[in-house]
Every structure is written in structure tokens, then in C-alpha cells.
Amino acid sequence: MTTKLFGEPVRRREDARLISGQGRYLDDLGPGALAAAFVRSPHAHARITHIDVDAALEVDGLVAIYTWEDLPAGVCEPLPLLIPHPALTHGRTAYPLARDVVRHVGEPIVMVVAKDRYVAEDVCSLIEVGYEFLKPVVGIEEAVSGAHLVHEDVPGNVGAHLVQEVPSADGRSAAEAIEAAPHTLSFRLDIERSACTPLEGKGVYARWDADDQSLRVYSSTQTSTSVRMALAAKLGLPLPKVEVIAPDVGGGFGVKIVHPWPEEVLVPWAARLLNQEVKWTEDRREHFISSAHERAQVQHVRVGFDDEGRVLGLSVEILHDHGAYTPYGIIVPIITSTQLLGPYRIGAYRVEFSSIYTNTVQVTPYRGAGRPQGVFCMERTMDKIAQHLGRDRADVRAANFIQPDQFPYDQGMIFQDGRPLIYDSGDYPESLRKLKDLIGWDDFPAQREAARAEGRRLGIGLGCYVEGTGVGPYEGGHIQITSDGRVHVSTGLTSQGQGHETVFAQIAATELGVPIERVSVVTGDTRRFGYAVGTFASRAAVMSGNAIALACRKVREKALRVAADALEADPRDLEITDGVVHVVGSPSASIPLATVAVLSNPLRYAFDEEAKRATQFAGAASMDRPPVAEGEEPGLEGKDYYSPIRSTFASGMHAAIVETDPDTAEIRILRYAVVHDCGKMINPMLVEGQIHGGVAQGVGGALYEKMVYDEHGQLLNASFMDFLMPYATEIPHIETDHLETPSPLNPLGIKGAGEAGVIPVSAVIAAAIEDAEGLPIDRMPISPSDLYAIRRTAGN
């Protein structure tokens, strides 16, 4: 059957357009719009004493200059704290333009609108801002000393403090279980700051329609519906008068889920005030210093275990660097502390985190969102246990696995969505078996020895993770079949390159029995779909995928009802193949879906051939009854929502073989293997693409990428000249195998895949380097100079 597309490696439909330059990104829109630019703080911590714009006023082409004082009620207030939490006792967000104090380099202070960006930047350079310097607080250690404060009213710079404790089955606390364990270890781990750095930065373009008193905003966002709600509220506009559209988006990786960004409020506000189109496109330096970062944590670990390596008690204290503000709440450290448990069933667990303010760029989720840090912690722990006991590292993991017959498995904690952390399905022993086969785990020791005899240092490492995906609360799908037989699918969440246009079309084509060529998909356009949450937490496949399937089922049912009427058949005897409804076993008794669409509309003007054909059926079908039957709505269309009871948990295991240079400490990845389980795959080729992209980002985090701040809070590497990213030349060939344990929680049995690739990479690379060098690797990323220093400290 040509319409069975779910699970097939269909090529990405969006690529022809995107790779041939036909994409329409934010900066391609509104070529005649006025341009906005911002004066941003050059200091990490300072009080603004005055702003003098006089020298800028004469610049030709200047349209307006705004400071905080110019902003009206609504716009002038601090930006929202999107996900409050009782433990976030001192949540703080920024004003859209700094009011009196700036708390990181890059904080916006003045907005300039001019005829183009060149003029706007010239004006910015002529505006003088006076500062009284305050002591910047940089780095976790300095912040926890509490000697200087980022926010005057936040003692000790602690924004949040949360403890979660799960006792052992026999009621022991983690401290008691560790105390009583035959073996114990304590150590510290350090993880540096990194950032999403999508190739397209943020951007917003707004048009005010004075006649209609309505606003249209294009934003490079991961959530157009939430930007819309925020704008309606902040600008005092009725919701139906605000439209927000995410055009093609050149990557998001988490940073574009924050909403509204200051510019997302200020640009539309100025467009309405000036009654002119206004646009702002973020430049690279702006992205580095005024969007968001993630990852930085210090972790103190204590673990107690038995002779087999089974963890009897684990206690982790996390210091989480939150930067200057907490617009996205404490989701990142909550995820670290809960997802740290991975595929393991451990005795007693205690985790405690403090979320610490520093005078640096704020922290919000970046692909993996706290999981890479959690996995780093747990997997380093597993390796240290194995080393202490002299046992095989894979065996120690296997000894701790949750077994396939133990699902659903309740970890006894509260997850990021406020619901219990209950794993729905998985088969961790089988994943490990596949991974060991794929990388050749059991044969590696001989390989290591052979290399050593030649003076080469090879090492192998592995890492496991479990990832909560598809978090709620809901997503919706709308299906419309028109009289030309085309299927129009829309869903409210947005796309940044994941391939939604392809996979959602696959789902609709499969459910409706139509050729995929007839299906078109729209995402992230509030004109088409008003209620949605957004794209993050690897949730689009699960949430919108299932919503679209449910909506298709509704429409299919209606199509069969209408067709049965026209064919004088029983709907139960009908099926749809290649866009044609026919009686099973009697293909001649058929009616195209296009005709069914016409029949579903009481206004059946003969605009096209299908409509004319439909009149053949129409007479018989509707002469003696009302044009719209009772209980029916006109049109062959339908909408449905999917709202899960809780998240579904994907999982995976990675392994790598690395070589370290004995002289230069250069680190090369020779092989990289992934076994991945995201339940039923809609499109295995896209899943592999997501994994490749994720691993590439993970390799960046493991070996290259870090945000380097000096003691004054200046970001020293705020450009792609200085912030090292891996090129294709540094990314190994990625060998992949899959496992499909369907999720019992949703109709399609799927779990998310979008973040999986990145999550365990740092842990895996650290383990492999440690194996090659015989030296503990307790920090990430690790550069050749870092490795060299570790060797020197160890006297090697």
C-alpha cells in the first residue's frame, strides 16, 4: 500500500527548499522595515547614573530612542518568570530595558529605531551611559561566598534551594545507606558553561495595522502561541488582534523557548507606537552576551556500594550557576537532579541543589537541559565504582539496571512537569548488549594493549541515560481536506529544523490513507492554530504527532460516514487507499476523498472538476434531509488535542574509542557508537539525523566549547573566532543501532528523540580519555591543554 508511511525513512521534504536558499528566515522578511538596535551594558555589574542622548539626536535617519523611562505600564515591568516553583524563593527577571542596575555584560539599556541598522548602530555609539561600578560576582565559588551580591535582596546569592530524598526499600536515608555500605567514595565534578549558539540568532519583525488595530509579529521563536499571549497582555491588546508567526527558524536548541525576550516586546511596542514596521535581528556578539547559556555546575558526590558494584546509597550536592536572572525558573537543576538516576535502580538517594546568581548571562535550557550534567555525574560514579572494585565498567552498570519486567518503574521523585518520575517502558540490558556488540567492547582490551605496545594510547568509555520526553500539558492538531483532495495539517508548536513537515505529513498520510504528496503541514502560525505550548523537551513527535493522529482519525471517521451515505454502503465496509474511499474488496464502488470533501460542504459550488463530480452523488445523498445533518459540521475537517498523564521516557547508551597523543595531549575520537530507544520511530532516518546532530553538539561540549569569563565578568570568547565549535572534520562517523520499546502512554507508542544525541557524550568521552590515560577525568570540557595539565599534576 502506498500510504503506509509511518516508520519509513522518508526523505525530508523541507530540505529541497531550505538547502536551495528558498527558506524564509526572519531577516528575509520586511526588507523595508525600520531597524532596531540596542545599547547594551559593557559592565557586568553597575548602577546606571545617567543616560545622555543629546549627541545622537542629530543623526540623519534616526527615528526614536527609548530608555526604561519611556516604557508604558505593562511594557516597563520585569519580564515574566515563566515556571515558578516553591523552592525558587528568590526568583528574579530582568526589565526589558535596564531600570537602574545592570547585572551582566550585554543587558539592554537603550533601544534605538532608525531607518536602517547602520544608522541605528551609529546612534547607539553616540549615546552616553554613566555607570557607578559595583563588584561583579563571577563563578560559583565566589558567588557562594556571599561576599558580594548580584541582587541586593538575595542573601548569599541563592535563588533556590531544593532537596529531594528517596529512602531505600528498608527505609534507610542515603546518609545511613552510605555509612553502612561496604565501599564508599567521595569526589567533586566540574562542568563548564556552554550555549546553544544556533546559526540563526534571535529576531523579531512587527507590523501594526492601524485600520484593523491589529498586530502581526514574526519571531524566530520556539513558541509562537506563548509570544502571542505575552504580547497581548503586555501591550493591552485583545488576543484575536495579535498574530505571531514563526517563519523558517535556523536552529533554536532551547534558547528560543524563553518568551518574551526583551526585544520581542519592545519591537512590536515600537511598531505600534510609530505605526511603522520595525525589525531587529540579533548579531552574533549579542547572542553570546545577551541571550542565555547553560551547563555550569559543581557537583559533590558521595556513594556507597557493595562488592558487585550495586549502589546502596548516593548523595549529590549540586551548585548550579544560574547567571543573573531566572526567567525559566529552576527547570535545569531539577532535571539534573531527577534524570541523574538514569536506567538505574539504586538504594537510597539524596540530591540537593542550590541555584546561584552570578553577574553573567542568565541560564535557561540548552538541548539536553540539565541531563548532560546529571549523566556526567552518574556515569563518572559508575566508572569510579568499577575502578575501585576492579570490575568491568559495563558489568557494574548492568548490576544496577532496572529490569524489563519492572516497568512501570517509579523512581519516587517529582519530575520537571511536577508529576511522579515513573518510567513507562524500556529494555536496558538489551540496549547494553547491542552497544557492546556494536563497539566491540569485549575485544577492546586486546586492542588497547596492542596499541600501547606501539606507543599509542587508546581508551574506551560508555555512558547510559534515560530521558523524560514529550512533557505535557498538551498539543493539538487540525486537519482539513479540501475539494482538490489536498490535506492541510496544522499544529501550534514550532519547527527549528527537526523535520516536522516530513514526519507530521507521514502520520497524516498513514492515518488518512492519502499520498504524502497531497499533505501539507504548517507549524508555529497562530493564524492556523491558536493553542499550543511549544517545541522543547523533545515533545513535538509525542505531543503533536499524537494530536495529529487523533485529529486524522476523527476526520477519517467523518469521511467514511459521508462516503457511506453517497455509496449507500456501511461505513464499516469502507477503507481509504491512495486518497480514494472504496468498499473493501470492491474497488469500483469508490469515491475520491476530494469528492467527499465537496459533499461535506453544503455550499457545493462547482468551482472545480471534483465539485462537478460530486454533484452526481449529491442529489442522491441529500435531497430529503437538511444540508448539514444533525450532529455534523460543514467541511471535511477536524481538530483534536493530546494531553498525556505524564512524560514518556526514552533511553540510550553511547560508547566511544579515543586516542590521546602522548606528547601533545591531542584527543581524537576514533569510533562513536549509539544505541537508541525512542519507542516507535516515525522516521528512522530523521531520528538518526537528530542523533548525529546531538552527538556533534555533545562532542563540542566534551572537547571544545566553554564560555570564558574573566574576573570582571567580561566574556572573553564572545565570537565564533574564539568560541571553539567542532567542524565536520572533528565529528566521528556515528554508528547507530535502534531498539523500539513502544510507550504504553500514547496511541502511537512513541517517545522523543531530539535531545538524545547530546546527553551522554561528555560522560562517554571522559570515560574513554580516563581509560586511555589511567588518570581521573572529573571536569568537562577537556582540551589538550587541560589534559596536559592533568598529566603534569599527576607527575606524568
Q: Which positions lie near ligand MCN, rule CB under 6 A?
A: 198, 251-254, 367, 496-500, 503, 535-542, 678-683, 686-687, 690, 693, 750-755
Residue 662 CB, nearest approach to ligand MCN (Å): 37
Nearer to ligand MCN among residue 370 and residue 752 (C-beta): 752
Strand partners, 464: 653
Question: In 222-272, at which residue ranges do the beta strands (DSSP E only) sit?
Answer: 242-245
Nearer to ligand MCN among residue 139 and residue 476 (C-beta): 476
**CA-closest candidate to residue 225, choices 529, 676, 628, 592:** 529
Nearer to ligand MCN among residue 292 and residue 678 (C-beta): 678
Cell of 55: 549627541
CA 270 vs CA 99, 212, 367: distances in Å: 18, 17, 32
Residue 22 CB, nearest approach to ligand MCN (Å): 17
Question: In 79-182, at which residue ranges do the beta strands (DSSP E only) sit?
Answer: 101-102, 108-114, 128-133, 158-166
Residue 201 CB, nearest approach to ligand MCN (Å): 12
Residue 750 CB, nearest approach to ligand MCN (Å): 4
Q: Can you tell me the distance from the alpha carbon of 154 to that of 357, in angstroms, rounded to the nearest whole number?
A: 9
Nearer to ligand MCN among residue 195 and residue 772 (C-beta): 195
Q: Which residues of 56-66 are buried (b: 16+ CB within 10 A; e: fewer)?
A: beebeebbbbb
| SS3 of residue 490 by DSSP | strand
Nearer to ligand MCN among residue 222 and residue 362 (C-beta): 222
Nearer to ligand MCN among residue 12 and residue 397 (C-beta): 12
Q: Can you tell me the distance from the alpha carbon of 770 to that of 768, in angstroms, rounded to the nearest whole number?
A: 5
Residue 758 CB, nearest approach to ligand MCN (Å): 8
Strand partners, 299: 189, 318
Query: What secondary structure letter does DSSP report for 114?
Result: E
Query: What SS3 string covers 282-296?
Result: CCHHHHHHHCCEECC
Strand partners, 102: 46
Asked if 744 and 425 count as a contact pair (C-beta separation under 8 A), the reply is yes
Residue 507 CB, nearest approach to ligand MCN (Å): 9
Nearer to ligand MCN among residue 270 and residue 547 (C-beta): 547
**CA-closest candidate to residue 551, choices 493, 472, 483, 480:** 480
Residue 62 CB, nearest approach to ligand MCN (Å): 36
665 exposure class (CB count in 10 Å sphere: 0-12, 13-18, 19+)? buried
Nearer to ligand MCN among residue 43 and residue 751 (C-beta): 751
Q: Can you tell me the distance from the alpha carbon of 508 to that of 521, in angstroms, rounded to the nearest whole number?
A: 9
Q: Which residues, at least 6 apart from 709, have a Cβ–Cβ distance to it below 8 Å?
A: 138, 139, 193, 360, 715, 716
Q: Could you give phi then psi for residue 762, rounded to 5 degrees?
A: -60, -45
Nearer to ligand MCN among residue 301 and residue 686 (C-beta): 686
Residue 591 CB, nearest approach to ligand MCN (Å): 32
Cell of 81: 518568570
Nearer to ligand MCN among residue 156 and residue 689 (C-beta): 689
Nearer to ligand MCN among residue 207 and residue 500 (C-beta): 500
Residue 161 CB, nearest approach to ligand MCN (Å): 27
Nearer to ligand MCN among residue 181 and residue 537 (C-beta): 537
Query: Cβ atoms within 10 A of the Cβ of 661, count?
Result: 14
Asked if 559 and 527 count as a contact pair (C-beta separation under 8 A), the reply is no
Nearer to ligand MCN among residue 482 and residue 538 (C-beta): 538
Q: Can you tell me the distance from the alpha carbon of 493 to that of 495, in angstroms, rounded to the nearest whole number?
A: 7
Cell of 289: 552576551
| SS3 of residue 720 by DSSP | coil
Residue 756 CB, nearest approach to ligand MCN (Å): 8
Nearer to ligand MCN among residue 498 and residue 647 (C-beta): 498
Strand partners, 574: 583
Q: Can you tell me the distance from the alpha carbon of 102 to that of 284, in angstroms, rounded to the nearest whole number?
A: 21
Residue 292 CB, nearest approach to ligand MCN (Å): 12
Cell of 275: 505605526
CA 321 vs CA 112, 194, 351: distances in Å: 32, 12, 16
The residue of the chain with the least Cβ separation from ligand MCN equals 754
Residue 509 CB, nearest approach to ligand MCN (Å): 14
Residue 202 CB, nearest approach to ligand MCN (Å): 12
Nearer to ligand MCN among residue 298 and residue 521 (C-beta): 521
Q: Can you tell me the distance from the alpha carbon of 423 to that of 402, in angstroms, rounded to the nearest whole number?
A: 10
**Looking at this protein, which amino acid is placed at residue 154?**
V
Asked if 728 and 420 count as a contact pair (C-beta separation under 8 A), the reply is no
Residue 745 CB, nearest approach to ligand MCN (Å): 13
Nearer to ligand MCN among residue 198 and residue 260 (C-beta): 198
Query: What secondary structure letter does DSSP report for 694?
Result: H
Asked if 256 and 197 count as a contact pair (C-beta separation under 8 A), the reply is no
Residue 675 CB, nearest approach to ligand MCN (Å): 15
**CA-closest candidate to residue 267, choices 423, 120, 168:** 120
Residue 308 CB, nearest approach to ligand MCN (Å): 34
